């Protein structure tokens, strides 16, 4: 009986690979050598106006500034934001990789009109893609800032110099 049990055990073990299976090491995750590893210094700011509200917005002009955005930042003032003047009109797509602060973002058309407002969850790596392909600016603010100030779609955003397009893209 013992021999029959031992034979059955050996057969079962051999059908399972018998522990001789070679385990391949897990491939390291693909990393981007240019990915930011720390918060960027505070960027140049400008006052922007949204209805009766005034906000101090950092301006993400360069590709690196845009790419880093609010990554690794742990604080943001109540009436502070970050404005992204995009290089061309597009279907904007933003995410929250390495961003521990929950944010709200307004997707804005070339005329400076808010088309969409989205809430972004901290550290979420899923892209939030605009429904429209007519987005030229994105304004990030503390989460629920737009709601608290009763600002929704259809509202215009301007600067002390006028419209967003004239401020950022007029030929001088």
Q: Which residue has the tokens 């500034």?
A: 65
Residue of 111, 107, 117 lying closest to 146 (CA atoms): 117
Q: How confident is the model at residue 23 (pLDDT cuts 50, 70, 90)?
A: low
pLDDT value at position 9?
A: 42
Q: Residue 4 above 60 pLDDT? A: no
Tokens of 157: 């955003």
pLDDT tens, residue by residue, 108-153: 999 999 999 999 999 999 999 999 999 999 999 999 999 999 999 9
Let me know: does 157 contact 106? Beta carbons within 8 Å.
yes
Which of 33-37, 72-76, 124-128, 166-170 is predicted with the least confidence, judged by mean pLDDT? 33-37
Residue of 65, 60, 70, 48 lying closest to 143 (CA atoms): 70
pLDDT value at position 25?
A: 59
Q: How confident is the model at residue 15 (pLDDT cuts 50, 70, 90)?
A: very low
pLDDT tens, residue by residue, 155-167: 999 999 999 999 9
CA-to-CA dists, residue 103 to 39, 97, 115, 158, 163, angstroms: 16, 12, 17, 21, 24
Q: Provide the pairing of β-strand 128-129 with 93-94.
A: antiparallel
Question: Which CATH number is 45-169's, of 1.10.600.10, 3.30.300.20, 2.60.120.1140, 3.30.70.2860?
Answer: 2.60.120.1140
pLDDT value at position 5?
A: 43
Report pTM.
0.80
> Can you give the residue ranges of every domain in the chain?
45-169
């Amino acid at each position: 009986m013992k021999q029959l049990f031992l034979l059955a055990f050996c057969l079962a073990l051999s059908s399972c690979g018998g522990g001789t299976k070679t385990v391949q090491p897990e491939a390291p995750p693909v990393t981007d050598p240019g990915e930011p590893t720390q918060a960027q210094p505070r960027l140049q700011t400008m006052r922007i106006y949204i209805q009766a509200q005034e906000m101090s917005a950092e301006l993400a002009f360069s590709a690196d500034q845009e790419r880093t955005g609010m990554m690794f930042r742990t604080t943001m003032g109540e009436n502070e934001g970050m404005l992204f003047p995009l290089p061309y009109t597009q279907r904007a797509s933003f995410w929250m990789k390495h961003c521990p602060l929950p944010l709200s973002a307004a997707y804005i058309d070339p005329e400076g009109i808010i088309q969409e407002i989205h809430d972004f969850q901290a550290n979420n790596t899923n892209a939030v893609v605009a429904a429209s392909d007519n987005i030229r600016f994105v304004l990030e603010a503390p989460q629920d800032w737009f709601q608290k100030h009763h600002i929704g779609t259809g509202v215009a955003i301007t600067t002390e110099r006028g419209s967003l397009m004239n401020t950022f893209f007029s030929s001088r």
